[in-house]
């Protein structure tokens, strides 16, 4: 029988009167795993059900700022009044749909740092998906030097190009994020 308690897995074997328990040693997450786990939690504060994305800006293993998908402060959110959808025609002729009511998690993290005077130059941003083109521009201009994303994003072709041009290191750990009404 397998049980989980916190970060430990236990296996219990019953051999008549003798009970043998094997305890699997706790494996600490890498720093990237640690901050990406935070991204998931921060994203739960989001106010647009198309993403619930979060972002964390880190330097020297210290959190500088966080952000999640949400309407500008004091304005109604998607959860309150619905999505503000726009259709974009891409260079290859394909169409994609985007909700523009909310600010992206990456932009909100950068804005939150700026609001309280936290310098983010030379930092790393952890996020749910590789950022969109506009967020990528802000990432470059704010001095962030590395981006780690859990998933790829269908609209990130230009992001990848300008990150390479600006020498921003980026890592995408998973497959493309697929969601309704892309």
Helix (H) or strand (E) holding 138: helix 133-142
Q: How many CB atoms lie within 10 A of CB 95?
A: 9
The length of the chain, given as a count of residues: 182
Q: Is 42 helix (H, G, I), strand (E, B) or coil?
A: helix
Tokens 């952000």 belong to 67
Ranges of residues in the chain with a pLDDT under 70 are 1-22, 177-182
Q: Is 106 a catalytic residue?
A: yes
120 CB-side CA count, 13 A: 31
Compute the distance between CA of residue 134 and CA of residue 137 in angstroms, rounded to an integer: 5
pLDDT at 93: 87
Q: Is 135 helix (H, G, I), strand (E, B) or coil?
A: helix
**Closest to 56 (Cα-Cα) out of 160, 177, 146:** 146
pLDDT at 145: 98
Quote the pTM value. 0.81
pLDDT at 91: 79
Tokens 């897995």 belong to 9
CB of 151 closer than 8 Å to CB of 173: yes
Q: Name the catalytic one among 106, 121, 161, 177.
A: 106
**Closest to 130 (Cα-Cα) out of 108, 114, 146:** 146
CB of 139 closer than 8 Å to CB of 110: yes
């Amino acid at each position: 029988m397998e049980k989980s308690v916190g970060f430990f897995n236990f296996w219990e074997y019953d051999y008549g009167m003798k009970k043998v328990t094997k305890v699997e040693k706790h494996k600490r997450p890498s720093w990237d795993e640690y901050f990406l786990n935070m991204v998931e939690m921060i994203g739960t504060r989001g106010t647009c059900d198309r993403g619930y994305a979060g972002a964390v800006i880190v330097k020297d293993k210290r959190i500088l700022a966080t952000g999640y998908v949400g309407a500008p402060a004091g304005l109604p959110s998607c959860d309150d009044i619905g999505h503000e959808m726009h259709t974009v025609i891409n260079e290859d002729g394909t169409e994609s749909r985007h909700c523009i009511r909310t600010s992206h998690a990456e932009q909100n993290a950068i804005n939150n740092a700026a609001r309280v005077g936290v310098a983010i130059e030379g930092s790393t941003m952890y996020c749910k998906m590789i950022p969109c083109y506009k967020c990528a521009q802000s990432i470059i201009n704010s001095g962030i030097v590395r981006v780690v994303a859990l998933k790829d994003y269908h609209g990130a072709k230009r992001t990848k190009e300008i990150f390479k041009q600006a020498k921003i290191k980026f890592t995408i750990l998973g497959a493309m994020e697929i969601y309704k009404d892309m």
